[in-house]
Structure 1
């Protein structure tokens, strides 16, 4: 198998050391970093489907997620080359979370990484995060952007719930709220009154810059 195939298998197998080794091998072979990241993401999406079908269980998904993060750490310096332009003059501050009831963190972590390498100051709140806590964290961090990820159709209403909390507290105008995730669509993003939708981590950088006017 090629290095990129080995990398995908290492993630599926939850093999941290293998993910690091094959991520490095991909770089050495000239594989674009985002191609390697996308292959790791494909591995986790396949496991996610298997998890929903009860063909694999949560420990296997968590091990695969750790392997993804191990490979991502190796690829991160190369990812900087995928971000167009220098860091903005004003340090953009963002909080990002997977909404309540949703434990999927891979896509959200990719966005957090890409925002970081683009020069943003990012606070990653993790997965399955309560809506009110997301708002509180944004206030305490002094965020400009709130990023909300949801993979499952049953959890995307919590993206709207965060916006509703902001409205109720008179805080909506302070933040650009960006949404994404497997079940999120541009139509849904518009329906709930968010400031934008991105389909992947690279696009999330350009979207964040656009809504912040940089």
Structure 2
């Protein structure tokens, strides 16, 4: 009989191989054996990161990325996962406004990040893709979030991200929120240039940053 450690390795392997049915089968088995929904998402995300690397190395195509995203969504639709989200829905850990910025319609990274945020007890206001600076500003004014998360996959969105933060400053709402930028190409220099409070190139690390911010807020 395999243990959870072996199961996690197998889930990562089959996510990387884009074997949807095998991933779902093993995910159900892992949940029955006691893996937590958060740990399951983190495990699947490791496989997703491997898929991303294969895409960057031109071993996978955009259709493969889309399939990986569908696998992740099927994981979120499992009964145990939905039950966990319902339990955490009113946990009140924090509120996040999330969107893929103007000029970019990629939603896989955004959706993965959203799922992991919700699994950890965050309320997420998902603005979708191709979101303008005006829509981000309005969402902050209307929802009073703790965090704004800007997602992107294209390198030409750096200026767009910077413009969004400048718009926050111009409208006097920058001080109200922490801003995190998520993209594979993000680094400290780009983050400093756009003016965000933090950045991440993967969903797991991004969630950890958001959790740390909320912990710091609770101490103030």
Number of corresponding residues: 205
Residue in 1 that maps onto 2:66: 62
1:122 equivalenced with 2:129 (yes/no) = no
CA 1:115–1:211: 2 relative to 1, 3 Å: farther
CA deviation after TM superposition for structure 1 residue 123, in Å: 1.0
CA deviation after TM superposition for structure 1 residue 122, in Å: 1.1
CA displacement 1:16-71 (0-9 Å, x = unmatched)? 54432222234456775255223332243135426xx4x65544432321112212
3-state SS in 2 of match to 1:137:
helix
CA distance in 2, matches of 1:18, 1:141: 40
Question: 2:45 aligned to 38, 41, 60, which one?
Answer: 38
Q: Give the TM-score normalised by the residue count of structure 1.
A: 0.72
CA deviation after TM superposition for structure 1 residue 96, in Å: 0.9
RMSD value over aligned CA atoms?
3.6
Residue in 1 that maps onto 2:170: 168
CA displacement 1:190-209 (0-9 Å, x = unmatched)? 33222223452442332331
CA 1:141–1:104: 2 relative to 1, 3 Å: same
CA distance in 1, matches of 2:49, 2:133: 28
Contact 1:10 1:67 in 2 (8 A): no
Residue in 2 that maps onto 1:83: none
Question: 1:133 aligned to 115, 132, 135, which one?
Answer: 135
3-state SS in 2 of match to 1:66:
helix
CA distance in 2, matches of 1:62, 1:157: 26
Q: Give the TM-score normalised by the residue count of structure 2.
A: 0.71
Residue in 1 that maps onto 2:179: 177
CA distance in 1, matches of 2:169, 2:13: 45
Residue in 1 that maps onto 2:144: 142
CA deviation after TM superposition for structure 1 residue 95, in Å: 0.6
CA distance in 1, matches of 2:23, 2:40: 13
1:195 equivalenced with 2:213 (yes/no) = no
Contact 2:11 2:44 in 1 (8 A): no
CA 1:104–1:207: 2 relative to 1, 3 Å: farther
CA distance in 1, matches of 2:140, 2:158: 19
3-state SS in 2 of match to 1:194:
coil
1:206 equivalenced with 2:208 (yes/no) = no
